[in-house]
Structure 1
């Protein structure tokens, strides 16, 4: 049935002004998955955990593996995507192929020989200097470093097992990463030089707290670091690697740590995973400055150092295998803040107070009365 012209006009007007949803074709690549609601910490998110394990395997370090979203997971993802020529995305919308990871978890059986790396760890440098080795202070610390993860994650996924009561033979659930094998590290004053690596360049942005390894235009790796700040900020500039030492000793000097000046009061701390510079020292041509491991991997990127650049032991060991003496290191960031010059107040020497005079005896004639 044909409508009158006026009726047709009214119907067309209504259709134009009515709130009628219109289906518009949307390119598939623009459809983003909604971010899932995160469970209460420290419960890991499987999707994030799998991504962290993958990035860690590729030496694009997300920091500690914990299955939670965070700054360094995002930074590692973006740098790996850049290395692959992909556009950056958030952690829930990447297109990386993670099928090679397999299972996100594996198991580890605690061995009797593992316990020789765990022991008493004094807190004071004076007491530490008297030991031959600075071990892990607990089995939990041993496991978190071996499997690159946070203590909260291990404790959560192993409930109701008590991490403080572990003994040889106990089986624990752990992230499926390449284990950090402390037992394979022996003291080496200088790692072998690899001439083929001389064209590689380390670039460090202390503001981003990220170390990148480049070979020409290719980005090979990136790791989170803790740089110095304030008076002890990591000095920007172009330097060279002058040596790489495995399982170093450390000269602990409070004056150097606080003011950058050597003093005669110091302690030589022995090697071990809890040495302040960790298990690897990559010295630079800037005296006293280097890239090194740490005894506090859980704080990487979230605290400050005394001028050097520290990263997790599990990262620095793998990084050192990609470096050689003579390589260029470019550091960008804020220069150290000048220390305020404190002018000493002039000392005015006051004259010592006069000693009181001894009272003089008053002369009296024999007929005078005593007062």
Structure 2
């Protein structure tokens, strides 16, 4: 009898709390559901955002819950589906689009795909250290960067590169018109990197690649023709998007620390804000996203914002990859020798060169962690112990690690997409997270990678 009464009392309390939520406010978890308990003061840090709402954060910097008006939560929680190439919701292994209510839709995952080999989560030997020494272990399995250049940080910025050919000059084109050109090229498999409404070498290389892919010649000054092509390939380059409760809730981290010891304390190197997450989802420069939406608070569900419309990810089977060190570009070829896709890249430098000759893809690690070992890596701050850096889009190698047969070299993503093609790397091939993800879905072990000067 006592148990029955207790259950009845709990149900009554829950119903009363639910009714109170509908008339007042709710605390929304990163999963998009209502927080059904109030954490102890010792468990969370309470912050007040710019709109006076409570934000609960744990002591590792993880979002626990965000306060929002109950009526807004219940009215906006059902949102349309958006086709997101980073998300796989089909338990049978297929892709069926992005559920806007799912807050885990971030670039830290890659859809399951027949040509992608997932690695086990247990520790694996570091290439070049094939023994049982714990100091030579790698977790899931991005390398401790270039074995031949052990003093360098894979996430550190390098000097700006010098381009090998002049950039194409456009005639009195607005940023919107340049955006249309960038979106067109992105949809056609000739990635311009981040879409920012600015003309530069990445766009020039993208145009040249598109001409090789299509066999046509493109006049980048003919905006009307480009807009017509866009109309036929998925619609206008800039569209409206409604921020969902899941978008606003995260999960996000307060900031990404510079110190690797502090990085290691975080459960995940997630995005730090809604704007960073949306910019990556829509292949945009984060600053440009904010400029397109002046004065907008991206943390409010239901807010309508302007984003670019990059369209569907490229598909196909890549049989050969060419890493052009001079052009700072990766070219992906099909089984018949045709060019399938091209990506701007940061590929080595004069001080820290990439390999020469031909190697092969050995494996693909999705959402990789990173092992920092000061005995074989660079010295980062005062850290003198092995550190396990968690995965996430803001990790040292981004969301994808494509390991090559030359030990510790690979193709990977980056936490700083706007620097791709504009700075040099430490020997590996660095792409934007979305380009690395797209390429990872089209390759498999055994694919050749040729480095050319």
With structure 2 as the length reference, what TM-score do the two structures score? 0.56
2:300 corresponds to 1:171: no
**Distance in 2 of aligned mates of 1:257 and 1:144:** 31
**Distance in 2 of aligned mates of 1:155 and 1:285:** 41
- What residue number does 2:117 align with? none
Change (3 A) 1:139 1:304: same
Q: For the pair shown, which has the larger CA radius of gyration, 1 or 2? A: 1
Alignment of 1:282-297 (within 5 A): 282-297=402-417
Return the match for 1:91 from 214, 220, 227. Answer: 220
Deviations 1:273-296 (A, max 9, x none): 111111110000010000011111
2:451 corresponds to 1:318: no
Q: Is the 8 A contact 1:135 1:272 kept in 2?
A: yes
Change (3 A) 1:221 1:102: same
Q: Is the 8 A contact 1:74 1:91 kept in 2?
A: no
- What residue number does 1:54 align with? 184
Return the match for 2:324 from 205, 208, 212. Answer: 205
Return the match for 2:199 from 63, 69, 74. Answer: 69
Per the TM alignment, residue 253 of structure 1 is displaced from its structure 2 partner at its CA by 3.7
Return the match for 1:274 from 394, 417, 420. Answer: 394
Q: Is the 8 A contact 2:268 2:390 kept in 1?
A: yes
- What residue number does 2:272 align with? 137
- What residue number does 2:89 align with? none
Q: Is the 8 A contact 2:329 2:342 kept in 1?
A: yes
Alignment of 1:179-328 (within 5 A): 197=317, 200-215=319-334, 216-253=336-373, 256=376, 258=378, 265-328=385-448
Deviations 1:105-145 (A, max 9, x none): 22222223233332122221111111111111222211111
Aligned length: 273
- What residue number does 1:146 align with? 281
- What residue number does 1:102 align with? 235
DSSP-derived class of the 1:118 partner: coil
Per the TM alignment, residue 98 of structure 1 is displaced from its structure 2 partner at its CA by 3.1
DSSP-derived class of the 1:45 partner: helix
Q: Is the 8 A contact 1:150 1:298 kept in 2?
A: yes
- What residue number does 2:4 align with? none
**Distance in 2 of aligned mates of 1:299 and 1:288:** 22
Deviations 1:304-330 (A, max 9, x none): 222111111111111111111111110
**Distance in 2 of aligned mates of 1:157 and 1:234:** 37
Change (3 A) 1:221 1:35: closer
2:249 corresponds to 1:113: no
**Structure 1 portions without partners, runs of 5+:** 1-33, 181-195, 334-371
Q: Is the 8 A contact 2:230 2:236 kept in 1?
A: no
Q: Is the 8 A contact 2:362 2:404 kept in 1?
A: yes
Change (3 A) 1:125 1:326: same
Instruction: Between the two structures, name the one with larger relative contact order (CA 8 Å, sep ≥ 6).
Output: 2
Per the TM alignment, residue 55 of structure 1 is displaced from its structure 2 partner at its CA by 1.4
Per the TM alignment, residue 59 of structure 1 is displaced from its structure 2 partner at its CA by 2.1
**Distance in 2 of aligned mates of 1:309 and 1:238:** 14
